Structure 1
Amino acid sequence: MKRYFMVCPRISRPLILLAVACVLSVAAHVHATAQTSLLSVSGEIVNGSPDSGSVVGLAVTLHMQGETTYDNKVTITDNDGRFIFNDIVYDPTLVYGVSVRYQDTLYGAEVSLANGAPPPVTIEVYDAVYEQDVIRVGSASLLFADADRVTQTVSALEIVKVVNDSDFTFVPGSGGPMSLLRFGLPPGAEGLQVDTRLLGADIVQVDRGFAVIGSVPPGEHDIMFTYAFPYDGAETTFTKNFPFGADSLRILSPNEVLTLASEEIGAPEPVTIGERPYQLIETSGIERGRRIEVQLSGLPRTTLADRVQSAVTNARYEYLAPALLAIFLTALIPFAVIRHRANMSG
């Protein structure tokens, strides 16, 4: 009778331990993924206005924004204004946020899923008003940062703190540009750049400036904008309108850029910011609709070499020769006059 023996390959103990470790690692990863891959985002919509309208049946959107991708989910608030999004797969490359539109205004909040499901999100909305009386400027700052001798332009930066002290959201009406949140610019201003955190706001050009088309909820909201405006000669007058007034106004400029002066709001005082000397004019209590003038002097004058450089830099090739010829002929005029006078006297 034959006997058969099963021969098994001999496996070393370290190899067995490594295999067990790999199995446990995969199991832990699967378990962790099962725990964190499906998350929920919940919260409620609350109306902060007195005698407020209903927040039942509002469409709430969960935004999932990547560098090149975008997706969203939509749900509806229940009878208590609550909402929930289920079965969310967390992606660390995405930014998450929740928004709701109420009475023509967009409200929202960012949410973080990095540590699992976030705490309930509360978004406060407000009833809309269309009168600009609820809007004022808490503070306004104006910096004349630089004066370009070649282009004959002054670079300016403004920071305006728009304040809504009411329990309602200001919504621009349909009454044309005068019903918008407007900001004036000097004549010939160019290179405008505007930065604001007002949700859903757009910027449009209006007569003598620009307007922010966006709702202003209660609270303080900074609007920052930069631009450049032209000047002619060593002095110019800068005019600023304040349709919403201003609780306080600051006007600054580095000493080496230009010299500030204003008969209306007082003489500048010296200040040092970051070891750099500045001039500062401060005032407060500016009424709505007031206009203020500031004199800018000591502006750099352009030279013949600057005009040649500007022509070479900006003129198109086919117009370059005529432009240089015109500058050259203009420069020859004083010499021609002097020579003519010398011949007459001879």
Structure 2
Amino acid sequence: MIIKIVLVSSFCVSLLAALLHVNTETATGSEHNRVNGTVVMGTKGESLPDTITLKLFEIDQTANTITEIESTTPDYLGNFKFRSSLSNLKNYRIVVIGSSYIDYFDLKSENHTSVEIIIYSKTTSLENISVKDYLIMIPSLNAKNRIAGFLSVVEIENSSDRVWIPDITNPSLTGLDLFRFNLPKRYKSLSVESQLPEGNILEIETGFAMTNPIPPGSHSILIGYQAEYKEDNLKFPLRLPFGANEIKILIPKDKGIIKNKYFQQTENVIINQNTFLSFEGSKIEKGTQLDVEFKELPQPNAQENLINLIQSRTYSVILVGFLSTIILIVISYFFWKHLIDTQGQENFTSRQKLLIHQIALLDRNYEMNEIPAEKYHKERTILMEKIVSSDSFE
């Protein structure tokens, strides 16, 4: 009997220990799937603003939706914690509101704890913004329509510890106060993608400007557009207000060249089995204008020129002009013929004029039924014979 009690007691202890172990693991696992971390001020000498709010969002890439789960505020040291447990099978994002700009931080599935989010004080000065690498590529050239397709990848750097944000409320704000790129004349179909926080693209005739905040560090910008060219050349007044440490231009082999004192032709580059001529420059100072000219670009052939002419307004102008000329010639001809005929009538003799007058009277009398038909035809025939037999002209 005693042995049985001991066995039962041992079983209960083992069961209790197992339950405690499971609960401990569950609590630990649940704690591991909760987001916590610290908001850090990255600008020296500045304190964290007390207006910061952190929002946790769940991203469903299948349904293409983003849903807010929870919001929290950091303590005076910047520490924060979300209560919700996260799934390793889903994507999450923390949005920071209340600092100089709205920023976000994408969580990695393997790291939901000890998240560090760095924020910065703002500046409106572009002094510390520069271009590290600038790649300009022409992946396509449409000879029929004389259109060059451009693709540019630009790596920029903010070497300060402040985020650049333009003061768009300033009424004296100009393009010189914005981060900007210039493009060829007659550019179209502009598209811009970047790693920068949310902002707007402001297009102008000579290019575009960006209002996106630029935090400290390096960031990439992808620019796509098209430009029309005339004859076989395209002039690109490439201005670099922020300079460029390295700049490269790629153009398809046998479809054009560039000439510019800032560039040297280097070894060809092969991309997707296509060969490109490579022209490189370096150490371009801020404010430099390169004036790049693309030459020997593809031209439309005779058939494409004819199609372009038919589809253009020029064809309509030529057709209308041609028809107008024909009509003018016809009118001029009939006017000239009428003038000659009129002059011929003025050269009849006095006798012929008298006979013509008699025929006219005879015709009128016949039409008024004043003379019989037999007499009318007989007398008219006699008068006509007299006109023909008399002297034709004086």
Same fold (TM over 0.5): yes
Q: Does structure 1 retain, via aligned residues, the 8 Å contact 2:32–2:113?
A: no
CA RMSD of aligned residues (A): 3.2
Describe the SS at the equivalent of 1:178.
Answer: helix
1:166 aligned to 2:160? yes
2:139 matched to which residue of 1? 145
Check 1:146–1:89 CA distance in 2 against 1; reply closer, same or farther (3 A cut). Answer: closer
1:308, distance to aligned residue in structure 2 (A) = 4.8
The separation in 1 between residues aligned to 2:314 and 2:191, in whole angstroms, is 31
Shift of 1:213: 1.3
Q: 2:116 aligns to what? A: 122
Q: Aligned to 1:49, what secondary structure does the other structure show?
A: coil
Deviations 1:306-332 (A, max 9, x none): 2454578xx6xxxx9x8766678999x
Give the number of the structure whose alpha-carbon radius of gyration is greater: 2
1:54 & 1:156 partners in 2: Cα distance? 43
User: Residue 131 in 1 paired to residue 129 in 2?
Assistant: no
Q: Distance in 2 between matches of 1:298 and 1:207?
A: 25
Partner of 1:273: 270
SS of corresponding position for 1:105: coil
1:291 paired residue among 285, 289, 292: 289
CA 1:324/1:302 → structure 2, altered by over 3 Å: closer, same or farther?
Answer: same
What's the TM-score once normalised by structure 2's chain length?
0.66
Match of 1:154 among 148, 151, 154: 148
Q: Give the unaligned 5+ runs of structure 2.
A: 1-21, 323-394
- Which residue pairs with 1:21 in the alignment? none
- For 1:41, the equivalent position in structure 2 comes to 35
Q: Following TM superposition, by how much is the alpha carbon of 1:305 offset from its aligned partner in structure 2, in angstroms?
A: 2.1
Q: 1:131 to 1:329 in 2, by over 3 A?
A: same
Describe the superposition over 1:280-303 as per-residue Cα deviations: whole angstroms up to 9, x where unpaired: 221212111110122211112223
Aligned length: 291
Match of 2:82 among 82, 85, 91: 85
Look up the equivalent residue of 2:77 and give its one-letter code: D
Within 1, Cα distance between the matches of 2:165 and 2:282?
27
1:54 corresponds to 2:48? yes
Counterpart Cα distance in 1 of 2:143 and 2:318: 17
Q: Which residue in the other structure is 1:17 paired with? A: none
C-alpha displacement of 1:56: 4.0
| Structure 2 counterparts to residues 239-278 of structure 1, below 5 A | 239-262=237-260, 264-274=261-271, 276-278=274-276
Cα 1:283–1:77 change in 2 (3 A) is same
1 or 2, which has the higher helix percentage?
Answer: 2
Q: 1:106 maps to which residue?
A: 102
Query: 1:279 Cα deviation (Å)?
Result: 1.9
Distance 1:304 1:91 in 2: 62
What amino acid maps onto 1:171 in structure 2?
I
Q: In structure 1, how many angstroms separate the alpha carbons of the residues matched to 2:174 and 2:71? A: 33
Deviation at 1:207, TM superposition (A): 4.3
Q: With CA pairs under 8 Å and 6+ residues apart, which has the higher RCO, 1 or 2?
A: 1
**In structure 1, distance between residues paired with 2:75 and 2:51:** 6
More deviation, 190-199/37-46: 37-46
TM-score, reference length from structure 1: 0.74
Does the residue aligned with 1:296 lie in a helix, a strand or coil? strand
In 1, the alpha carbon distance for the partners of 2:306 and 2:132 equals 45
Kindly provide the CA deviation profile for residues 163-196 of structure 1, in whole angstroms up to 9, marking residues without a partner as x: 0111111111232332221111111101111110
Which structure is higher in strand share?
1
Q: Distance in 2 between matches of 1:122 and 1:89?
A: 18
CA 1:327/1:279 → structure 2, altered by over 3 Å: closer, same or farther?
farther
Residue 192 of structure 2: aligned partner: 194
Distance 1:207 1:233 in 2: 22
- How far 1:55 moved relative to its partner? 4.3
Q: CA deviation at 1:147?
A: 1.6
Query: Given residue 126 of structure 1, which amino acid in structure 2 is its aligned partner?
Result: Y
> Residue 338 of structure 1 aligns with which residue?
none
Paired residue for 1:220, among 218, 221, 224? 218
TM superposition shift of 1:103: 3.7
Secondary structure of 2:127's counterpart equals: helix
- The residue type paired with residue 124 of structure 1 is I
